[in-house]
Amino acid sequence: MSLVVVGSVAYDAVQTPHGGVDRMLGGAATYIALSASYFSHVKVVAVVGEDFDPEDHRLLAGRGIDLDGLERRPGKTFFWSGVYSHDMNERTTLRTDLNVFADFEPRLPDSYRAQPALVLGNIQPSLQRSVRAQMNGVRLVGGDTMNYWIQDHRPELLETLRQWDFLLINDGEARMLSGAYNLRRAAEKILDLGPHTLVIKRGEYGALLFRRDGHFMVPGYLLEDVFDPTGAGDSFAGGFIGYLAGAGIYPQDGQIEFSELRRAVIYGSVMGSFCCEMFGVGRFRTLTRPEIDARYQEFKACTEF
Amino acid sequence: MSLVVVGSVAYDAVQTPHGGVDRMLGGAATYIALSASYFSHVKVVAVVGEDFDPEDHRLLAGRGIDLDGLERRPGKTFFWSGVYSHDMNERTTLRTDLNVFADFEPRLPDSYRAQPALVLGNIQPSLQRSVRAQMNGVRLVGGDTMNYWIQDHRPELLETLRQWDFLLINDGEARMLSGAYNLRRAAEKILDLGPHTLVIKRGEYGALLFRRDGHFMVPGYLLEDVFDPTGAGDSFAGGFIGYLAGAGIYPQDGQIEFSELRRAVIYGSVMGSFCCEMFGVGRFRTLTRPEIDARYQEFKACTEF
């Protein structure tokens, strides 16, 4: 049983106060898949160009990720470059070259269709919906979106969200989607749109999980050094859904066991924190499951009272 | 046994997105004392002018606060006015009239001197030190400071901090005091200055407690409405030290039991959250201890995993 991950695979250039990298593997599907691979079998659907480095293919395959759905097309891989503010809480996009991603039409290999869990990285809502429609008997579906789809493709996004179990977005997106500034009120409105579970990511300030019968709050893990926050939100998503999918935890009567959701949020936070420790996907080259479990326990020790 | 609270008693004018108030009771000592009064006997040292409203005197006395050390002098009470940003995470001072506070020289009544706990609101560091010197056998001392003293009265502040058990400041102040941006590194440097316990307040994002052997993190309580954040940090301080003083928890071998510090941080967070629910000290007019304990339990339920 696998988790199907759909989204972008890209090359990124980033500048942070700790330095910069001109070209490194990135993209939402990459981070989600790498992060989730510590918890669950993962199958990726994405598109890359002719410039996709065999080394990067090996990195993903080396984590046991099924790449049958990684389409290779004439042209170049999606490229993004950005620069982070001094405190790394804001980033400015310098360049976005969609390249082969511009015509991305995710098509699931047959071996993907009957899998029980699906996570949709931030892509066009209608494409997210088309993927959902290609699955048979999927039991856990969720994903991410962004300001552009919320503002300019709202009806399409709302139709997509109706079929999701969970939505993972940041606080600014939650405010934009709901029209409410206060996050409790924003969450109430978003839970009316379809998902029974909402996770609001707050970067260094942690995360919030909402459902109708209550919420869960976790502070951000305190890193000694944040090298590069790129991919931290997607790594969070990978840890969150990866944990649920890997443990075979699906909604029953429209709800997931709250204690399991809490654990999933902590695993998400743990994976987001590891991601920031090196540039790009660097940390996933050496990260081990015992390190993840140790940080989970550290989270417990630092928040229990 | 009482907690001695020293600081400003003031009148404030504030504007928030929820409206404004032209004149309301405020000041660090006021908020600290009101908040701490739910946990401990409290004795206040402060100065007010001839305009101090008997109604406000009654409010404090009604919470059992000893006002023998509240000096009344010719002139007007300290006045501050400010306006909050839309998200209430920033505020701009419009006016500060020190009035009788300009010549404040805290003098402790004899009945205050042998008390075991002292909390010093944000005043000139040399005055904070003079108060400490007037106490006999005090067992728990701490307080607050601000950017002005950190930048322009640093040597004086450092001398003061050497005698403190704990320091409660916000994240910007911690960065300024330590010269380190990363809060773990900032905390290490600050713990070299004297206090064995550092609490960093992060407003809506919660609080962090550091000592040499570990740290504790708590997210901010999620309010449905934040009416006025004025005094929230001081209410936090009042809950934190009030809990410790009221329960008779003092340092032993230079340390306070970590589990008690965690509880103190939660009580601080609870009191800070209640403070934001109405303008000024409004919430303390009706707040009860059972409400406080219920919110403490709610914090536990929302953060446990």
pLDDT confidence of residue A251:
94
The residue of chain B nearest to residue A185, with distances taken between CA atoms, is: B224
Q: What residue type is assigned to position A128 of the chain?
A: Q
pLDDT confidence of residue A155:
98
CA–CA separation, A66 and A63 (whole Å): 9
B184, B219, B222 member nearest A219 (Cβ): B219
Contacts of A300 in chain B (CB under 8 A): 305
Would you say B13 and B81 are in contact if contact means Cβ atoms under 8 Å apart? yes
The residue of chain B nearest to residue A261, with distances taken between CA atoms, is: B305
The DSSP line for A78-130 is: EEEEEEE-TTSS-EEEEEEE-GGGGG------GGGTT-SEEEE-SS-HHHHHH
pTM for the complete prediction? 0.95
Give the bridge partners for A47, in sequence order.
A71
Provide ipTM, 2 decimals.
0.93
Tell me how crowded residue A205 is: count the other CB atoms within 10 A of its CB.
Answer: 18
A280: left (phi over 0), alpha (psi -120 to 50) or beta: left
Q: Which helix (H) or strand (E) holds B244?
A: helix B232-246
Q: What residue type is assigned to position A76 of the chain?
A: K
Sign of CA dihedral A8, A14, A20, A22: positive
Question: Could you tell me how far CA A19 lies from the centroid of its own chain?
Answer: 25
Spell out, as residue ranges, where chain B has pLDDT lower than 70: none
Contacts of A184 in chain B (CB under 8 A): 222-224
**Inter-chain touch B302–A217, beta carbons under 8 Å:** yes
Would you say A260 and A249 are in contact if contact means Cβ atoms under 8 Å apart? yes
- Residue A133 near chain B (CB below 8 Å): no
- Residue A87 near chain B (CB below 8 Å): yes
CA–CA separation, A257 and B100 (whole Å): 59
Q: What's the angle, vertex CA A280, arms to CA A275 and CA A285, rounded to 5?
A: 70
CA–CA separation, A234 and A33 (whole Å): 9
CA–CA separation, A164 and A147 (whole Å): 18
3-state secondary structure (DSSP) of residue B187: helix
Tell me how crowded residue B24 is: count the other CB atoms within 10 A of its CB.
Answer: 18
**Alpha carbon distances (Å) from A1 to A32, A104, A121, A234:** 17, 26, 20, 21
Would you say B60 and B67 are in contact if contact means Cβ atoms under 8 Å apart? yes
pLDDT confidence of residue A156:
98
Tens of pLDDT, residue by residue over B53-79, are: 999 999 999 999 999 999 999 999 999
Count of all residues that appear for chain B in the document: 305
- Residue A137 near chain B (CB below 8 Å): no
Question: Could you tell me how far CA B21 lies from the centroid of its own chain?
Answer: 22
The residue of chain B nearest to residue A227, with distances taken between CA atoms, is: B182
- Residue A181 near chain B (CB below 8 Å): yes
Tokens at residue B161, please? 């901090």
* Segment 259-298 of chain A within 8 Å of chain B by CB: 259, 262-263, 265-266
Q: At what angle do helices A289-303 and A258-275 cross, to 10 degrees?
A: 110
Interval A69-93 mean pLDDT: 94
pLDDT confidence of residue B254:
84
Per-residue pLDDT band for A142 (boundaries 50, 70, 90) equals very high
pLDDT confidence of residue A87:
84
pLDDT confidence of residue A168:
98
pLDDT confidence of residue B197:
98
- Residue B217 near chain A (CB below 8 Å): yes
Sign of CA dihedral B72, B102, B99, B36: negative
Closest CA to B290 of B38, B122, B59, B72: B38
Tens of pLDDT, residue by residue over A184-215, are: 999 999 999 999 999 999 999 999 999 999 99
pLDDT confidence of residue A253:
87
Tokens at residue A203, please? 């970067």
Strands A207-211 and A214-218 come out as antiparallel
CB-based contacts of B123, cutoff 8 Å, min separation 6: B6, B7, B8, B28, B104, B106
CB-based contacts of A236, cutoff 8 Å, min separation 6: A35, A168, A199, A201, A207, A268, A269, A271, A272
CA–CA separation, A272 and A20 (whole Å): 20
- Portion of chain A with pLDDT greater than 90, in percent: 95
Interval A163-190 mean pLDDT: 97
Contacts of A264 in chain B (CB under 8 A): none
CA–CA separation, A262 and A268 (whole Å): 10
Would you say A257 and A140 are in contact if contact means Cβ atoms under 8 Å apart? no
Interval A109-113 mean pLDDT: 98
Per-residue pLDDT band for A88 (boundaries 50, 70, 90) equals confident
**Inter-chain touch B214–A185, beta carbons under 8 Å:** no
Interval A23-39 mean pLDDT: 98
Closest CA to A267 of A38, A61, A26: A38
Contacts of B226 in chain A (CB under 8 A): 182
Query: In Å, how far is A168's CA from the nearest CA of chain B?
Result: 18
Name the average pLDDT for chain A.
97
Tell me how crowded residue A110 is: count the other CB atoms within 10 A of its CB.
Answer: 8
Would you say A4 and A73 are in contact if contact means Cβ atoms under 8 Å apart? no
